[in-house]
Chains A and B, each alone.
Chain A
């Protein structure tokens, strides 16, 4: 970890979570599901791709890289872990597949959902 990573983990991201965080639920393939705080980035939906295929909206969530206060990058299993989050703020949460761990630096996991 760099000095910046350390500082961001201990002071920057906690402040961002405090300001922009919302509750989601992590549902691992194995083990108990648990509620955590995350910054949810909802991208515009793109139902049909250019090749005619169905494209689902992608949501990214940023959480602490920790199995106690967020999700540890070591425990993520893209072969079945899911996250319950609402596609629009205020709507009922749906279960989305963890498609990719996009970044795990700075004490933060950025996770792409489909």
Chain B
């Protein structure tokens, strides 16, 4: 089955992070949840694509550029008896994940499927119960496809 360019990017992110030695598990949400939080887990959450007129090109058919936000959730579950600062663990793990994602010089094009990628801020989230902590790393990926053929990158 042919894969849409937007999904190729998501798959490339998944593949690259799956190779990270620090990550115990890399998951993407499914329609019905199938995973449970665990220490050193990465969750990839793709957002909604928005057109970028200034990067689109006229033609027949025109090439339409899109920006798609991703949230890379770096999950840390700390042993109750451990004394290490949770912020240190979060910083260490999310830094390792970012380093893995951006290791290659052409990391930003995700196997030639995107034009550019930019990393945003990191949000610190502690669950209501306090037993699961996350660093949510934001990233925006810009890609361009044929208006009438989302399988064709332009």
Residues of chain A at the chain B interface (Cβ within 8 Å):
29, 45, 47, 52-57, 77-80, 82, 94-100, 112-114
Q: Does B88 contact A (CB under 8 A)?
A: no
Interface on chain B toward A: helix, strand, loop, or mixed SS? loop
Of A54, A77, A78, A114, the contact of B45 (CB 8 Å cutoff) = A54
- Which residues from chain B contact A47 at a C-beta distance below 8 Å? 29, 31-33
CA distance A95 to B93 in the complex (A): 23
CA distance A113 to B131 in the complex (A): 11
- Which residues from chain A contact B129 at a C-beta distance below 8 Å? 78, 99-100, 112
Q: Interface code B33-49, partner A: CB below 8 Å = 1, 0 otherwise? A: 11111110001010100
CA distance A78 to B92 in the complex (A): 21
- Which residues from chain A contact B33 at a C-beta distance below 8 Å? 45, 47, 54-57
Residues of chain B at the chain A interface (Cβ within 8 Å):
29, 31-39, 43, 45, 47, 77-82, 127, 129-132
* Max chain A Cβ within 10 angstroms of own Cβ: one of B29, B36, B45, B78: B36
> From B129, which residue of chain A is reached at the shortest CB distance?
A100
- Which residues from chain B contact A52 at a C-beta distance below 8 Å? 47
B80 near A79: Cβ-Cβ < 8 Å: yes
B131 near A99: Cβ-Cβ < 8 Å: yes
- Which residues from chain B contact A55 at a C-beta distance below 8 Å? 33
- Which residues from chain B contact A98 at a C-beta distance below 8 Å? 131
A79 near B78: Cβ-Cβ < 8 Å: yes
- Which residues from chain A contact B39 at a C-beta distance below 8 Å? 80
Of B31, B43, B79, B132, the contact of A114 (CB 8 Å cutoff) = B132
CA distance A41 to B129 in the complex (A): 19
B43 near A97: Cβ-Cβ < 8 Å: no
- Which residues from chain B contact A29 at a C-beta distance below 8 Å? 79
B43 near A54: Cβ-Cβ < 8 Å: yes
